[in-house]
Structure 1
Amino acid sequence: MPIPSGKQKPGPASPRHTLHGLALPATVLRALQKRGIYCVPAISVEHQHLAKRYVLRGVESGGAVADMGRACAYLSLDGSSLPWLQSIDSLAVNGRHAIFLAESLVRIEMFRTVRTYELAISFHTLSLPTARKRPEISSRLLFRGRDGTLPLDLWKEGHRALRGELAPTFYSRAGEPIGLPLRFEEAIKKMTGAVCCVGCRHSHVGMPPDAEGLTI
């Protein structure tokens, strides 16, 4: 399914969105927990004592079962993949996959209920308020898609090859398709695959660090 070009006016992100990502009802959060889907969209400020600087920390995480999926990942502002600090191996599935550290991050988060999708893309960076030594997180919302649809059961094994190739279509309240930001097109497709990856054990968006181990 092609992604139409277009723009959506960026807006501010609330403190709640900065910390927790998509605002999902308690019933949905309980359903995710019951299905063993562990997604960690929170971003934190960490201090690197040796480098004497602050960075943001994010964790790519999530996965899916047949009727539900949730995942979050991190990009650069131009939409390119970021190298992780470390990948995370676990006996459990649908959990943490990789840790990212940077002075600024774009978080992309998606939630799926059967064939209906929610999408949020937000930019986060460090901001140093006057007379304070520890920076805060400054955030703004880049894109928000609600009640998107993709009429294909990507979580089924027969459609496995299409994961990462398709994305849902989102509509305005007037029923018109909303164009998705072109710089995030590839990442949106990968996230669509992530929320349909049943028993996920790997990163869909992040990439390994280069040969010298640089992460930012």
Structure 2
Amino acid sequence: MANLSEIHRRSPEASSHLLHGLSLPVATLQALQRRGIYCTSGVTVEHQHLAKRYVLRGVESGGAVADMGRTCAFLSPDGLPLPWLQSIDSLAVNGRHAIILAESLVRIEMLRTVRTCELSISLHTLSLQPGRTRPEITSKSVFRGRDGVLSVELWKEEHRTLRGELAPIFYTRAGEPMQVPRRFEEAIRKVTTAVCCVGCKHAHVSISPQSSEVAL
């Protein structure tokens, strides 16, 4: 697993992608902003003074309008949903939904333009370097899908019952279907629902702490 500083020396673009999420063209970012879709995809290191430990912080965020959607969500490395620290209520839609803290995170980010989707899955952990007390983020790409095809217009009300059942199909450059990691299949379907959730005001992947305790 490569440290981000090492990745940056080899490829600044790869470093930016792993740390900040999908590298999107300016025109795409402007289109999202015009539609009022705001996605916080960065991962940061935070220090818990009372617990005397460092954790990673991610924000589940995003939403959709009819022709476009973007969502960023976080889960555990084994593919299970993580309980949020707090949910975020807002009068605005398609923004921040929940804050997640953990010592390791998998970020799943998806962009939808009508029925064409981009998907990025990356693993983020804490790495303590010799002679330092504050850990760094060590990241690696788990899956990257480009120009995936969503077979059904899930943002339309008549297809509501299919939400959570479908995900885009991604192909290699040679035209062969790509297999996503099996442990993340359910989360990918949930993120697909999120990028089709018009006027989204809730988290799709992370769960309430009470739900986590019941599951245990």
Partner SS for 2:210: coil
Q: Which amino acid aligns with 1:189?
A: R
TM-score w.r.t. structure 2 length? 0.90
Spell out structure 1 runs of 4+ moving beyond 2 A: 12-15, 210-213
Following superposition, the deviation at residue 210 of structure 1 comes to 2.9
Report if aligned partners of 1:18, 1:43 keep a CA contact under 8 Å in 2. Answer: no
Distance 2:148 2:71 in 1: 16
Report if aligned partners of 2:18, 2:141 keep a CA contact under 8 Å in 1. Answer: no
Distance 2:211 2:80 in 1: 18
Following superposition, the deviation at residue 19 of structure 1 comes to 2.6
Distance 1:176 1:125 in 2: 31
The alignment covers a number of residue pairs equal to 203
Distance 2:23 2:114 in 1: 18
Q: Which amino acid aligns with 1:107?
A: R
Q: Which amino acid aligns with 1:152?
A: V
Would you say 1:67 and 2:76 are equivalent positions?
A: no
Would you say 1:152 and 2:152 are equivalent positions?
A: yes
Report if aligned partners of 2:79, 2:187 keep a CA contact under 8 Å in 1. Answer: yes
Kindly report which structure 2 residues correspond to 1:1-216, keeping only aligned pairs within 5 A, or say none. 14-210=14-210
Following superposition, the deviation at residue 180 of structure 1 comes to 1.3
1:128-168 CA-to-partner distances (Å, cap 9, x unmatched) read: 11111111100000011110001211111111121111011
1:31-75 CA-to-partner distances (Å, cap 9, x unmatched) read: 001100000000000000101111000000000001100001011
Distance 1:178 1:57 in 2: 30
Distance 1:153 1:32 in 2: 19
Structure 1: which 5+ runs fail to align? 1-11
Q: Which amino acid aligns with 2:153?
A: D
Structure 2: which 5+ runs fail to align? 8-13
Greater fraction of residues in helix:
2
Distance 1:212 1:43 in 2: 22
Query: RMSD between aligned alpha carbons?
Result: 1.6
Distance 1:97 1:184 in 2: 20
Distance 1:103 1:126 in 2: 7
> Closer, same or farther in 2 for the Cα pair 1:177/1:88, shift >3 Å?
same
1:60-91 CA-to-partner distances (Å, cap 9, x unmatched) read: 00000011000010111110100000000000
Distance 1:180 1:212 in 2: 25
Q: How high is the sequence identity, in percent, across the aligned residues?
A: 71
1:100-127 CA-to-partner distances (Å, cap 9, x unmatched) read: 0011000000000000000011000011
Report if aligned partners of 2:60, 2:71 keep a CA contact under 8 Å in 1. Answer: yes
Distance 2:87 2:97 in 1: 6
Q: Which amino acid aligns with 2:15?
A: P
Q: Which amino acid aligns with 2:185?
A: E
Partner SS for 1:191: helix
Report if aligned partners of 1:70, 1:111 keep a CA contact under 8 Å in 2. Answer: yes
